[in-house]
Amino acid sequence: MNRQIKHLPRSTFRDHIAEQLRDLILNGVLRPGEPLLEVQLAEQFGVSRGPLREAMRELVDEGLLVVRPYAGTTVIELSAKDIREIYSIRTALETLAFEQAWDRRDAAFHAELDRRHAQLVAAIDAEDEVGSIHAELDLHSLVFETADNKLLSRMWSILRGRLQIYWVTHHEAHGRRGPYRDAHLVYVESAKGDDIGRMVSELRRHMRRGADRTAEFVGQHVRLQG
Amino acid sequence: MNRQIKHLPRSTFRDHIAEQLRDLILNGVLRPGEPLLEVQLAEQFGVSRGPLREAMRELVDEGLLVVRPYAGTTVIELSAKDIREIYSIRTALETLAFEQAWDRRDAAFHAELDRRHAQLVAAIDAEDEVGSIHAELDLHSLVFETADNKLLSRMWSILRGRLQIYWVTHHEAHGRRGPYRDAHLVYVESAKGDDIGRMVSELRRHMRRGADRTAEFVGQHVRLQG
DNA sequence: GAATTGTCGATTGTCAACAACCGACAAAGC
DNA sequence: GCTTTGTCGGTTGTTGACAATCGACAATTC
């Protein structure tokens, strides 16, 4: 009677493809605006269009792709307004994550914080731009994982995906990330400290800086849509 | 050159079905845990399984349905922990919505606020339980609409869907909603006032009350999952 | 009798063909 | 010349059939 453990869902083609497609998008292989042809992608993945379409729909609902009936699917293009929206929501949710994670912080949390920060610094020093984007988002992901809130994690993954698309596709035009080594050091130190008030205000400063930086850039180089 | 207006996407079977299915779920016709059979539903909607599966996947990604490969799809069952998660996130996001909507409030906003509140009161007085659930959520939706933040609206719709599933399926066991007439009057009055600080603290009180009420109920009547 | 194995029906996952639709270009009309 | 209309290639939307997998129950073994 104690067969509590549900079967681990076997993976299906659809899930596998969704994962691969997501990687392709989040690593900038498929760029915003570029049309995704079903027959071509299906052949490329070695499946028929059915599972591929379902995988694409998953990414549409995640907000990574946008579809117009009978006119095709493309990677989302983010406007300046979109960036502002993302950062405002991110600030609210990451603050909530810290509140919920605060009492769960332990030695393992601190260690993991240092580990991810070290990876970020290493990527920055190696001038691995895409790697440093991943590393930075991984660092920020930790607090969401620690908060132990499934829905919150899901919403973070939606935000994260959009941020990643934006940064990966535009990082060449941005400056180097070097100056942000110190910023993240402050973030990490605050997260390890005992004053949640300080953490929250540091977080808000951090977010404001990120939002200003990207919004300013979008204003310069990308057609404004809103 | 000023053909700025993109074609309004023609509706597809898939979209139409997703909408109908969503209504079925959110009105409690399809109850949590109940299996959704593809062939049966496809026949019922008069389409083949392809579009139906894509519509179901859309609802899966919205968090209304849950799927286990080769074992079927069911309406999500919410645990006590899920309810807590929803309310914590909802508090953060509705607060943000008020911050962003605050300067956009105008006469039309106030009128719409009154209109939706009147509808809520009417539903309560008519003892139309399901109607009052819809009306209450409609009332709270207004601030998200006014905030003019697409992503925030989308996240609210995710939260709203889950709340609606929970309340609609459990409202018989809950008490009448009568006592909450006054609570919403305070909410509306605060939203019309000039003090956003008061609004936020009223909102938090409002959310705490809702969370306590549902969590307590879930603890009593539903198998705890977390 | 309890646990294991085998079989079966039902359901989901996948496929390849067909139909509907869009965008672009060319021809016709004013 | 400008607008309108018609055609065409290509892409997406939809379908029905086929394959793979699961859960339950019966048969088997210890």
- pLDDT, residue A10, reads 63
**Distance of A18 CA from D19 C1′ (whole Å):** 22
- pLDDT, residue B178, reads 65
Reported as half-sphere exposure (CB side, CA atoms, 13 A), residue B224 has a value of: 10
Domain annotation for chain A: domains and CATH numbers:
10-75 (1.10.10.10), 80-225 (1.20.120.530)
Q: Is the pLDDT of residue B171 over 70?
A: yes
ipTM of this model? Answer: 0.89
> Where does the pLDDT of residue A220 fall: very low under 50, low under 70, confident under 90, or very high at 90 and above?
low
Whether B151 and A50 lie within 8 Å, measured CB to CB: no
> Kind and range of the H or E element at B152?
helix B150-170
Q: Provide mean pLDDT across the span B183-189.
A: 94
Q: What is the mean pLDDT of chain B?
A: 89
Of B52-56, B103-107, B167-171, the range with the lowest mean pLDDT is: B167-171
Q: Is the pLDDT of residue A23 over 50?
A: yes
Q: Which of B63, B88, B96 sits opposite A100 (nearest CB)?
A: B88
Number of Cβ within a 10 Å radius of residue A39: 10
- Distance in angstroms (rounded) separating the CA atoms of residues B133 and B199: 22
Cα end-to-end span (Å), chain A? 58
Q: Which of A61, A96, A154 sits opposite B92 (nearest CB)?
A: A96
Whether A152 and B85 lie within 8 Å, measured CB to CB: yes
- pLDDT, residue B1, reads 32
Q: Provide mean pLDDT across the span B90-109.
A: 98
Backbone angles phi, psi at A36, to 5 degrees: -100, 110
Q: Is the pLDDT of residue B190 over 90?
A: yes
- Distance in angstroms (rounded) separating the CA atoms of residues B163 and B21: 17
**Distance of B7 CA from D6 C1′ (whole Å):** 21
In this structure, is the CB of residue A44 within 7 Å of any atom belonging to strand C? Answer: no
Q: By a Cβ cutoff of 8 Å, what residues of chain B touch chain A?
A: 6-7, 9-12, 15, 50, 53-54, 57-58, 61-63, 68-71, 82, 85-86, 88-89, 92-93, 95-96, 100, 149-152, 154-155, 158, 162
- Distance in angstroms (rounded) separating the CA atoms of residues A15 and A13: 6
Q: By percentage, how much of chain A surpasses pLDDT 70?
A: 88
**Distance of A9 CA from D17 C1′ (whole Å):** 26
Distance from CA of B129 to the nearest CA of A (A): 27
pLDDT in tens, A130-189: 999 999 999 999 999 999 999 999 999 999 999 999 999 888 776 666 667 788 999 999
Q: Taking the C-alpha atoms of B131, B132, B134 and B139 in order, what is their torsion angle to the nearest 10 degrees?
A: 140
> Where does the pLDDT of residue B170 fall: very low under 50, low under 70, confident under 90, or very high at 90 and above?
confident
- Distance in angstroms (rounded) separating the CA atoms of residues B172 and B178: 14
pLDDT in tens, A34-43: 899 999 999 9
For the beta sheet containing B72-75, the strands, ordered from the edge strand earlier in sequence to the opposite edge, are: B35-36, B72-75, B65-68
**Distance of A5 CA from D28 C1′ (whole Å):** 27
Q: Which of A10, A11, A57 sits opposite B54 (nearest CB)?
A: A57
- pLDDT, residue A11, reads 74
pTM of the model: 0.91
